[in-house]
A and B are shown apart, each in its own frame.
Chain A
Amino acid sequence: QSVLTQPPSVSGAPGQRVTISCTGSSSNIGAGYDVHWYQQLPGTAPKLLIYGNSNRPSGVPDRFSGSKSGTSASLAITGLQAEDEADYYCQSYDSSLSGFVFGTGTKVTVL
């Protein structure tokens, strides 16, 4: 059961900028818990893309950036490339569940 809401899909032409929103509530993002983002290429396991709202692990291009405000967070991809076509998920912690929650997922299509 996903309690973080994302748009089902976003698309853009190569080189463009796209953003993905992640909306939570007062028991998760709004409670001060950080948001993390994962990229899932077709047929593969999710891969950490952004941690701690805005930090990139080593090896992740700086085209990817994250931010958080209030009960929401966003992932931005600038200079969109064909290899960015994938599913993206946000994730946080929920105090009412005493556990983790994932977003509904967003499919990014490069036109």
Chain B
Amino acid sequence: QVQLQESGPGLVKPSDTLSLTCAVSGYSISSSNWWGWIRQPPGKGLEWIGYIYYSGSTYYNPSLKSRVTMSVDTSKNQFSLKLSSVTAVDTAVYYCARINEDRGVSNWFDPWGQGTLVTVSS
């Protein structure tokens, strides 16, 4: 059974860098899947942040691209997210998920991690 678990600081100061890791168990991160990050501000909807392949190839949401860096560590079967110069608007629950693909036109997130709340505050 595939499981994903996010970890990282729950409180980050404004202008600092948010760093999160997603540990994958029950499945090799080097399999033919992309891996993604999604966030959800309190009381609001879902926003895609970006996704990464085990080779290190990445795609980022254009609205966050200048501040986002993703990386993968195949030896630890995990991938990571860094978001720089954070402000209060970056306060959200951050989720990691496996991306499943079919026929090149169908990509969906499953499973998801339980999510971790990151608050940006001094």
Contacts and interface: CB of A to CB of B under 8 A. Distances in A.
A binds B: yes
B47 to A, nearest CB: 7
Contacts of A34: 102, 105-108
Interface of B: 36, 38, 45-48, 50-51, 59-63, 95, 100, 102, 105-115
A89 B102 contact: no
Contact of B45 (A33, A48, A105): A105
A108 to B, nearest CB: 15
Contacts of B63: 1
Interface residues of A, number: 27
B105 A100 contact: no
Contact of A57 (B36, B45, B110, B113): B110
23 contacts: A1-B47, A33-B107, A34-B102, A34-B106, A36-B106, A45-B112, A45-B113, A45-B114, A48-B108, A48-B109, A48-B111, A51-B100, A51-B110, A52-B102, A89-B46, A93-B105, A99-B50, A99-B51, A99-B59, A99-B60, A99-B62, A102-B38, A102-B45
Contacts of A98: 59
A51 B32 CA distance: 18
Task: Pick from A33, A48, A89, A101 the residue with the most CB of B within 10 Å.
Answer: A48
Nearest to B102: A52
B46 A105 contact: yes
Contacts of A111: none
A103 B122 CA distance: 32
The majority secondary structure among interface residues of chain B is strand
Contacts of A38: 46, 109
B36 A100 contact: yes
Nearest to B6: A45
- Looking at B46, B111, B114, which has the most chain A CB atoms within 10 Å of its CB? B46
A36 B101 CA distance: 12
Contacts of A52: 102, 106, 108
A104 interface: yes
B95 A89 contact: no
A100 B112 contact: no
A33 B111 CA distance: 20
